[in-house]
Every structure is written in structure tokens, then in C-alpha cells.
């Protein structure tokens, strides 16, 4: 019985992944596989008169469609039966039914042995897709479930960014790990406000309620050529949370007492060359002591640093910092390592890159030269630019979710976004192609927005006004051994696994 059920399940799964067409009683079933599709940076490659095939386990595609999508000029010499595709100083040459292909980049040519050569099938020239992609340094992924070839061309993205945004290009070309030490300081202010009006009586809140959250951070950072360190003081005003809970419960919650006044948090942070974060904070330790369970954790931590692999916080593995020079190369390394990145994910990434290129577009950038040869860069994104970009992002998100916005919904979103007072200004000081100072200032005000379409008889509709100001800045200089200390990796540490896996009693027993 178990074997029979297993056979039935296997048959069901098989039939759900291939096409099955039933005809009359005395005729056989005809089973067809899903056609092979090809996407290039998320765009479908169209093959008008011939389709990709699998020959001897290798995927072959019509030559002209795929090469022209890669912006190569294609030529076929009928006399020598040779296919040539070229762009600038790069070219690929393949002879039909010959396993030797020639790839030329600049003045260097090399012969490559193909597992499956170019072929002529039904009067159409077919070429091996993986060879074509990898010769152009294009990532090739194969999605077996959907029978799709996924081509990812990071060079095309880099060129798109370079043509649109000088600022974004500079940021991506910055050294991922500088070859010399640096030191500097940073600061930031974040203020968010939420103003409710005409709230109904059953909301549990006053008719007019205002909540605000304020954060301020100042600190210093240093990179000594190997390890990084930073010390920051963070001041937070979260009293609105305390006041809100007090109003709604009619009591002053003891566990939230620290929120009643401005809080000052110290953060001592170190990142070693293997991407481990070491974190220590006296203020957070004191906050833990306000509860019984927290006090137990505080005793376990003591005067030690908490060691946390950054891969645990971010969800992906950081590559060796010495294996690439710039942030863009780090991005390319992650793309190259991901063999499960398929068409939908690539399309989303392609759209995001296009949007970032618009946000940091050269049309919004001005540059002035200073007396010392450095340059001041300034980019301003105003309400009009923001409206167009935000609306495009909403439409793309809706399409990805499978529920495209109607014209009426687009018009409604456009009206709402258009009423937002918004401005983002980015300032940067650049010297010798290095970023020495930066500042980001963002402000927004939604105005009073109706939160309900209809209000009760005789009452005004509830509204919400959201305001915000974000101001972040930093400056960097060369590491000076006379005034800057090298970063020391803490010896007294406790791992996050140890911290969450042991109670204080277990810890005492372990040490005894």
C-alpha cells in the first residue's frame, strides 16, 4: 500500500510540472515539456522564429536574438560557416559543428574547447548559451523547475549607473576596505511626529493626540588598516510611549519607567577582519537590571563584550574583505555566488537599480570646486521628483505582488503623494576621488490626511499628520598613529549563543 501511494504521489508531481493532453479513448497521451525561456537582467528574450533547445544536455539558443540582446553585432559567414559576435574590442567566433571557439578581448585571443558546438538546426544558427554568457562575464543560472535560463549582466547595470549618476558611481567605487587607516566622527538627529485629530471616543485616546520620537547620536570611528572600532552616545526621547500607555491603562507602568525621561545609551562597537561584531554598553546593562530576567542576563554579561557574527544579523555570508577592492566588486561577488537567483529576483533588482539611478541622477547634482582643489557635491530631490519616483515604486511593487494598480488607484496615490512636502539634500566633499565629508538632510510633512472615509454624524473625520526630519553627517581623515589608537580585539567576550543558551545559574555552575 505504501509503495502504491508513493507511486501515485510521484505521478501527481510529474503531471503538475509538464503539459498533458488527453485525446479520445483509443489514442495515447501526448506529453510535452514546458518550453525553455531565457531572461536577460529580468527581461524576456524573444525568439520569433526558433526556440531554445537542449542538445546533449546543453542548452542551445538562436544566436542572433541572444547576442543582439547582449548588444553584440552578429555576423554569419556562410562560406566558412562561422558565427561572429562583436562589441568594441570584444568578440566571439564560432564555426558550425566545430568544438573550438575563439574569444578576443583587446589584444588577447584565446581558444576554448566547447562541450557542445554551434549548430544549424532547421535553417537556424544555434549557439551554447552558457559559453556565450560566461565569455561575456555574464552570470548564467538555470532554473530547472521553470526551465528558464537566467542571465545576469552586472556590467550592464554598472554602465546604466555610470551614465545616470556620478554620485552613486563614486559611492560604489569606494574601497570596500581602504589600503590605509582612517579616522573620523559622525552625528545624527532623527525626529518623527504623529499628530492625530478628531479621534473617535472609542479609540481610547484623546480626540487630539500627538506622539513624537527623537533620537540623537554622536560618535567617533577608526579603521587601523585591519579592524574597525566606533564609540557612540545615543540620546532617545521615547516618553510618548510611556505617556500613551499610562493614559490607556490609568497606571504608571514600572517596567516602562526608563522611557519616561530622555535616555542616554553608550555603544562601544568593534568589527574584526573576519566580520565579527563586539558590542558593549553600560547603559543597556543597567536597563536589563530593571527586570528579574534581565538582571540575570546582566550578571552573565558582566564586563564582557558580546560577540556576534555579522552574518547572523544580516542573513548572508560576508565574503573575504581582501577578495575585492570596491563595494561594487563586493556586490558582483554576491551575485556570482548566488546560483538560485532566478528571473523574478533579477527583475526586481533591475528595477531597483533603475530607481536608484533616478534618485541620484546627474540632473539633480551640482558641483563646485573649493580653494584646496576639493569639490563640494550637492544633490537635491524635491517634492516633484519624489512624487514621480515614489509613484513608480508603488506601481512596481503592485506588479510584483500580482495586483497591478488600476488607473483610479494610481490617481489616488498620485494625489496623496503630491500633497507631501518632501525634500532630500545630500552634500559631499570629495578630494582626490575620496569622500572626506558627507551630510544627508531629509524632511517630510504629509499634512492632515483623512484616516477614515466617513465620520460619524455630526463629527469631523479623523486625520493624521506625519512629520519627520533626518539629519546625518560624517567626516573622515587619514589614520594618524600619534593621535589615533589601533583597535584592540577584546579578550573578555561572550558569544550570543552562550548568552541566550545559559541562565546565570548555569553560567555559575560552568565556571565553578
- Output the nine-digit C-alpha cell for 352: 531597483
Q: Which residues contact residue 421 at a Cβ distance below 8 angstroms, ignoring those fewer than 6 apart? A: 383, 443, 444, 445, 447
313-363 per-position pLDDT tens digit: 766 666 666 677 888 998 898 899 899 999 989 998 998 899 899 999 999
Residue 73 CA: distances (Å) to CA of 128, 135, 212, 507: 17, 15, 59, 69
Helix/strand number for the chain, H first, E second: 15, 28
pLDDT at 20 (0 to 100): 35
Q: Are 446 and 468 in contact (CB under 8 A)?
A: no
pLDDT at 472 (0 to 100): 97
296-315 per-position pLDDT tens digit: 889 989 999 999 988 777 66
pLDDT at 304 (0 to 100): 95
Pick the more confident residue, 136 or 34. 136
Quickly list DSSP for 243-311. HHHHHHHSS--GGGGGGGS-EEEEEEEEE-TT-EEEEE-HHHHHHHTTSHHHHHHHHHHTTPEEEEEHH
CA distance 2 to 4: 5
Place domain 46-141 in its CATH homologous superfamily. Answer: Copper amine oxidase-like, N-terminal domain (3.30.457.10)
Question: Domain locations in the chain?
Answer: 2-32, 46-141
State the pLDDT confidence band at 134, using cuts at 50, 70 and 90.
Answer: very high
CA distance 376 to 341: 39
pLDDT at 251 (0 to 100): 83
Strand, coil or helix: 434: strand
Q: Are 140 and 130 in contact (CB under 8 A)?
A: yes
CA distance 332 to 376: 29
Mean pLDDT lowest for which of 23-32, 34-43, 48-57, 440-449? 23-32
pLDDT for residue 452 is more than 70 = no
pLDDT for residue 397 is more than 50 = yes
User: What is the overall mean pLDDT for the chain?
Assistant: 86
pLDDT for residue 28 is more than 70 = no
244-277 per-position pLDDT tens digit: 888 888 888 777 788 888 999 999 999 998 889 9
> Please, what is the angle between helix 407-418 and helix 383-400, to 10°?
150
State the pLDDT confidence band at 16, using cuts at 50, 70 and 90.
Answer: very low
pLDDT for residue 508 is more than 60 = no
Handedness of CA 125, 128, 131, 133 (dihedral sign): positive
42-96 per-position pLDDT tens digit: 999 999 889 999 999 999 999 999 999 999 999 999 999 999 999 999 999 999 9
Place of cell 527581461: 43
166-187 per-position pLDDT tens digit: 999 999 998 776 668 899 999 9
Q: Which of 269, 272, 270, 268 has the alpha carbon at shortest distance from 321?
A: 272
pLDDT at 319 (0 to 100): 62
pLDDT for residue 11 is more than 60 = no
The pTM of the full predicted model, rounded to 2 decimals, is 0.78
Amino acid at each position: 500500500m505504501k509503495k502504491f501511494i508513493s507511486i501515485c504521489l510521484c505521478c501527481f508531481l510529474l503531471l503538475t510540472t509538464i503539459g498533458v493532453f488527453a485525446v479520445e479513448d483509443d489514442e495515447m497521451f501526448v506529453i510535452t515539456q514546458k518550453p525553455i525561456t531565457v531572461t536577460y537582467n529580468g527581461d524576456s528574450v524573444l525568439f520569433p522564429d526558433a526556440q531554445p533547445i537542449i542538445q546533449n544536455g546543453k542548452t542551445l539558443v538562436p544566436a542572433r536574438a541572444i547576442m543582439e540582446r547582449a548588444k553584440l553585432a552578429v555576423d554569419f559567414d556562410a562560406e566558412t560557416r562561422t558565427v561572429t559576435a562583436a562589441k568594441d574590442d570584444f568578440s566571439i567566433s564560432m564555426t558550425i559543428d566545430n568544438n573550438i571557439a575563439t574569444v578576443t578581448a583587446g589584444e588577447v585571443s584565446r581558444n576554448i574547447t566547447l562541450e557542445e558546438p554551434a549548430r544549424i538546426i532547421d535553417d537556424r544558427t544555434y549557439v551554447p548559451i552558457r559559453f556565450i554568457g560566461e565569455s561575456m562575464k555574464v552570470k548564467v543560472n538555470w532554473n530547472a523547475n521553470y526551465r528558464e535560463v537566467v542571465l545576469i549582466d552586472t556590467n550592464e547595470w554598472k554602465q546604466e549607473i555610470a551614465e545616470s549618476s556620478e554620485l552613486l558611481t563614486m559611492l560604489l567605487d569606494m574601497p570596500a576596505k581602504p589600503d590605509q587607516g582612517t579616522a573620523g566622527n559622525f552625528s545624527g538627529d532623527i525626529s518623527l511626529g504623529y499628530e492625530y485629530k478628531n479621534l473617535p471616543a472609542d479609540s481610547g485616546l484623546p480626540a487630539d493626540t500627538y506622539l513624537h520620537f527623537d533620537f540623537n547620536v554622536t560618535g567617533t570611528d577608526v579603521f587601523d588598516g585591519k579592524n574597525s572600532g566606533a564609540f557612540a552616545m545615543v540620546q532617545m526621547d521615547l516618553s510618548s510611549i510611556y505617556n500613551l500607555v499610562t493614559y490607556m491603562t490609568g497606571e504608571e507602568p514600572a517596567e516602562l519607567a526608563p522611557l519616561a525621561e530622555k535616555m542616554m545609551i553608550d555603544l562601544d562597537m568593534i568589527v574584526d577582519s573576519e566580520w565579527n561584531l563586539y558590542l558593549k554598553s553600560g547603559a543597556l546593562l543597567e536597563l536589563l537590571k530593571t527586570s528579574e530576567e534581565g538582571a540575570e542576563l546582566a550578571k552573565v554579561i558582566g564586563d564582557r563584550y558580546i560577540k556576534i557574527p555579522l552574518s547572523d544579523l544580516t542573513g548572508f555570508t560576508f565574503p573575504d574583505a581582501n577578495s575585492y577592492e570596491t563595494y561594487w566588486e563586493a556586490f558582483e561577488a554576491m551575485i556570482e555566488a548566488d546560483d538560485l537567483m532566478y528571473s523574478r529576483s533579477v527583475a526586481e533588482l533591475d528595477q531597483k537599480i533603475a530607481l536608484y539611478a533616478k534618485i541620484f541622477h546627474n540632473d539633480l547634482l551640482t558641483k563646485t570646486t573649493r580653494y584646496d582643489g576639493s569639490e563640494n557635491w550637492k544633490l537635491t530631490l524635491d517634492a516633484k521628483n519624489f512624487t514621480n519616483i515614489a509613484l513608480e515604486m508603488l506601481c512596481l511593487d503592485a506588479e510584483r505582488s500580482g495586483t497591478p494598480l488600476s488607473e483610479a488607484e494610481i490617481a489616488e496615490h498620485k494625489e496623496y503623494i503630491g500633497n507631501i512636502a518632501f525634500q532630500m539634500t545630500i552634500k559631499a566633499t570629495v578630494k582626490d576621488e575620496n569622500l572626506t565629508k558627507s551630510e544627508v538632510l531629509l524632511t517630510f510633512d504629509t499634512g492632515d490626511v483623512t484616516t477614515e472615509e466617513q465620520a460619524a454624524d455630526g463629527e469631523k473625520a479623523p486625520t493624521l499628520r506625519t512629520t519627520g526630519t533626518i539629519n546625518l553627517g560624517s567626516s573622515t581623515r587619514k589614520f594618524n598613529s600619534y593621535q589615533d589608537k589601533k583597535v584592540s580585539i577584546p579578550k573578555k567576550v561572550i558569544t550570543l549563543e552562550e548568552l541566550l543558551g545559559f541562565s546565570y545559574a548555569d553560567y555559575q555552575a560552568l565556571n565553578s
